[in-house]
Chains A and B, each alone.
Chain A
């Protein structure tokens, strides 16, 4: 039975099944959109936390690091409460839409990107702080310099965020509802098809997800190797 499932899964992938393509495309769209917003929020949060001093900074860093381990189902529940009809944002009618899934993923991966960016920027800031002060580099020039000089490490952080987003299931199934042709992404589809006993499509999606994870990891390694080669990490 398992052999047949693998063969069918392989056929589905090779034939370019429209159903698979649609699910894959939506997964990538949702995760990339979430990644865009998380980068927009996470990098400035991590950078400003690293290069500024203020009372309570250590507590903020601790909270940020703790948020990296947010349970996806809890995030899903919170976003659900926020977007449900009786919730504060219920009027927007976003529940069970890809937008709701993007919001849930943003909440999940922004702390990851911000916390990893903070670690990278904090190290860099310790190294550059005296030099920048010595050269009287204004903040408006220092921040882009930090971002540029940390580019290889930051790309790694961003890819880690994407990896988390694309493989996430708990939050998106709560706020997206796993609706066919609307909010069904790879992870939710795998959960559903497995429960239905449709192992072929679940396996096909699983293989695609694993391949994506491999590509992301290979990209991380390549970027890091390139950076190390030039001592830019």
Chain B
């Protein structure tokens, strides 16, 4: 019942002549030990830009993202991204984790580590300026503030020139200035054709950035609609409760 069918009212289609499915997840299941963590998730999204993944804690948002990124192998089901088999997509994916993982070296070396061979220094410098870290090139990366660390992690991901960018609550507990910088960079990336899948609990952020919203609850897909529909007339009981600020158990 939760399957998002591109032909149904809940589906989100882009207005181009030939819609290309950008996210296709079919009957995805993930079991770890005795825990059935993701259950029969089927989603098809044709929407470019940012797909938000929302849901209460423990809904399986990060697990879904990790499955899409290939960090977890689903127990069953299939994934196609950007209209290609999953295995073929990992080469042009990049992921920003909830807690920035930075190497034990300075800022510039963290970027150089991820940069593809032959990346011009000017490109790295330009990216540093975009994330407002210019002048901090030689600082140990792990001594930056939380917001700066996350901006550096995003810059590192963008340096790999992904076509699909996965973001696992990158702005959680960041100051508004850092959130703004990150949102601007993501908007800029989507304008350049990068597809983003973004986990967030921030409803305002979902409204600002999201083109469509995947809502998970207890490891199942509860709803997949365009952002406007999600906020004006959510289809599922769980999403309604979530938007009303009720704890969804």
Interface residues in chain A, defined as those with a beta carbon under 8 Å from any beta carbon in chain B: 127-128, 130-131, 133-136, 145, 148-150, 230-233
The answer to whether B143 touches A133 (Cβ under 8 A) is no
Distance in Å: Cβ of A134 to nearest Cβ of chain B: 5
**A-contact bits for B78-97, CB 8 A (1 contact / 0 none):** 00000000000011011101
The answer to whether A130 touches B97 (Cβ under 8 A) is yes
Cβ contact of B101, chosen from A128, A145, A232, cutoff 8 A: A128
Tell me the complex Cα distance, A135–B102, Å. Answer: 12
**A-contact bits for B92-123, CB 8 A (1 contact / 0 none):** 01110100010111000000011000000000
* Chain A residues in 8 Å Cβ range of B39: none
With A134-B94, A134-B95, A135-B114 known as contacts, the answer to whether A231 contacts B142 (CB < 8 A) is yes
The answer to whether A149 touches B160 (Cβ under 8 A) is no
The answer to whether A231 touches B104 (Cβ under 8 A) is yes
The answer to whether B70 touches A133 (Cβ under 8 A) is yes
The answer to whether A127 touches B101 (Cβ under 8 A) is yes
The answer to whether A133 touches B103 (Cβ under 8 A) is no
With A134-B71, A149-B103, A149-B104 known as contacts, the answer to whether A230 contacts B97 (CB < 8 A) is no
**A-contact bits for B39-78, CB 8 A (1 contact / 0 none):** 0000000000000000000000000001001110000000
* Chain B residues in 8 Å Cβ range of A150: 104
* Chain A residues in 8 Å Cβ range of B142: 230-232
The answer to whether A130 touches B71 (Cβ under 8 A) is yes
With A130-B71, A135-B160 known as contacts, the answer to whether A231 contacts B101 (CB < 8 A) is no
* B140 at the binding interface (Cβ < 8 Å): yes
Cβ contact of A232, chosen from B66, B69, B114, B140, cutoff 8 A: B140
* Chain A residues in 8 Å Cβ range of B94: 134-135
Distance in Å: Cβ of B64 to nearest Cβ of chain A: 15
Cβ contact of A231, chosen from B91, B95, B97, B140, cutoff 8 A: B140
**Chain B residue nearest to A231 in the complex (CB):** B142
**A-contact bits for B205-242, CB 8 A (1 contact / 0 none):** 00000000000000000000000000000000000000
* Chain A residues in 8 Å Cβ range of B114: 135
* Chain B residues in 8 Å Cβ range of A230: 104, 140, 142-143
With A134-B94, A136-B90 known as contacts, the answer to whether A231 contacts B143 (CB < 8 A) is yes
Tell me the complex Cα distance, A231–B143, Å. Answer: 6
* Chain B residues in 8 Å Cβ range of A232: 104-105, 140, 142
* Chain B residues in 8 Å Cβ range of A134: 69, 71, 93-95, 97
* Chain A residues in 8 Å Cβ range of B70: 133
Distance in Å: Cβ of B36 to nearest Cβ of chain A: 22
With A128-B101, A134-B94 known as contacts, the answer to whether A145 contacts B113 (CB < 8 A) is yes
16 of the cross-chain contacts (CB-CB < 8 Å) are A130-B71, A130-B101, A134-B69, A134-B93, A136-B90, A136-B91, A145-B103, A148-B105, A149-B103, A149-B105, A150-B104, A230-B104, A231-B142, A232-B105, A232-B142, A233-B104
